């Protein structure tokens, strides 16, 4: 049985391994790198952009030409956050440079484990398995001028598409099946990075300390979810109460707020 890659402890155990990290980078970005140290919970001093943010997994290539960050996202699926982290990583490299140009290329990979809840400005929901963001300028005719190699990549296995390259699909399958099919995962073990990740996160290979830490993270997520659910319920009841005072029809109130008939009747009693 696999450990759940939606769990921070399991995720970091897998992707801080050099074989897994470099294989993942090669398959997703198409580049081969050597790294010396892979850091977790990376922070920068002094703070960048007046915001104290933390990087899940961070590494630089041994020749100091490439900086790569892997960000696992749990609750906040807003692209503003991804974009900010990405641009601040570039800015952090700029502050040590004597010129405006920087010698390093910055890559950021965001791994999402639940479906997108956001939508385009047009109102169309985002349902893409792989999204790329670059900062190269382009002409009025749409020709891209290759000035900067910096790139942000968002991966979400909950929105499979036919045009996803197989080497990326291998990792998306690993992430998805570690969450939804942990006991009988069907994965490409011919990929050495996938094979190593499976070995690392297999439940039998987790230490007692890792299992305890993983359980604690899961308990924390459950607690947060319950608190959020209670807050949403309280908000819905408050809205329903206001609508009752305004004389709105019972059916419309239940439809608008999602509360039950029993909850509506209880609100009516409270108001009497």
Burial class (CB in 10 A: 0-12, 13-18, 19+), 164: middle
- Name the token pair of 247: 């004389």
Q: Vertex 6, ends 133 and 16: CA angle to 5°?
A: 75
Report whether pLDDT(97) > 60.
no
Q: Give the predicted TM-score (pTM) of the model.
A: 0.77
pLDDT-based confidence at 72, cuts 50/70/90?
confident
Report whether pLDDT(56) > 70.
yes
d(CA 231, CA 238): 11
Report whether pLDDT(255) > 60.
yes
pLDDT of residue 120: 84
Q: What is the pLDDT of residues 127-162, one digit of tens each?
A: 899 999 988 999 999 999 988 889 999 999 999 999
Mean pLDDT of the chain: 85
Burial class (CB in 10 A: 0-12, 13-18, 19+), 52: exposed
Q: Write the secondary structure of 247-260 as one string of H (helix), E (strand) and C (coil).
A: CCCHHHHHHHHCCC
Query: Taking the mean position of all CA atoms in its chain, how far away is CA 198?
Result: 20
- Name the token pair of 48: 């960048």
Pairing of strands 66-73, 35-42: unpaired
Q: What is the three-class DSSP state of 16? A: coil
Residue 105's closest CA among 83, 136, 84, 142? 136
Q: What is the pLDDT of residues 1-27, one digit of tens each?
A: 899 998 889 999 999 999 999 999 999
Residue 96's closest CA among 64, 71, 134? 64
């Amino acid at each position: 049985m696999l450990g759940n890659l939606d769990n921070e402890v399991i995720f970091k155990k897998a992707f801080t391994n050099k074989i897994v990290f470099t294989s993942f980078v090669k398959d997703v970005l198409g580049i081969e790198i050597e790294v010396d140290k892979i850091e977790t919970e990376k922070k920068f001093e002094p703070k960048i952009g007046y915001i104290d943010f933390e990087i899940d997994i961070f590494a630089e290539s041994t020749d100091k030409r490439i900086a790569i960050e892997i960000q696992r996202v749990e609750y906040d699926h807003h692209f503003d956050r991804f974009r900010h982290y990405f641009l601040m990583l570039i800015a952090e490299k700029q502050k040590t440079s004597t010129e405006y140009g920087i010698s390093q290329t910055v890559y950021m990979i965001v791994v999402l484990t639940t479906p997108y809840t956001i939508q385009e400005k047009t109102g169309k929901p985002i349902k893409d398995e792989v999204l790329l963001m670059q900062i190269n300028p382009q002409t009025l005719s749409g020709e891209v001028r290759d000035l900067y190699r910096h790139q942000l990549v968002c991966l979400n296995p909950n929105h499979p598409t036919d045009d996803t390259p197989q080497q990326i699909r291998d990792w998306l399958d690993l992430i998805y099946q570690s969450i939804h099919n942990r006991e009988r995962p069907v994965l490409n073990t011919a990929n050495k990075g996938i094979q190593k990740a499976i070995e690392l996160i297999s439940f039998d290979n987790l230490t007692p300390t890792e299992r305890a830490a993983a359980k604690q993270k899961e308990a924390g997520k459950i607690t947060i979810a319950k608190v959020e659910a209670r807050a949403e319920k309280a908000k819905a009841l408050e809205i329903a109460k206001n609508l009752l005072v305004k004389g709105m029809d019972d059916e419309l109130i239940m439809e608008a707020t999602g509360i039950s008939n029993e909850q509506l009747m209880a609100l009516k009693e409270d108001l009497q």
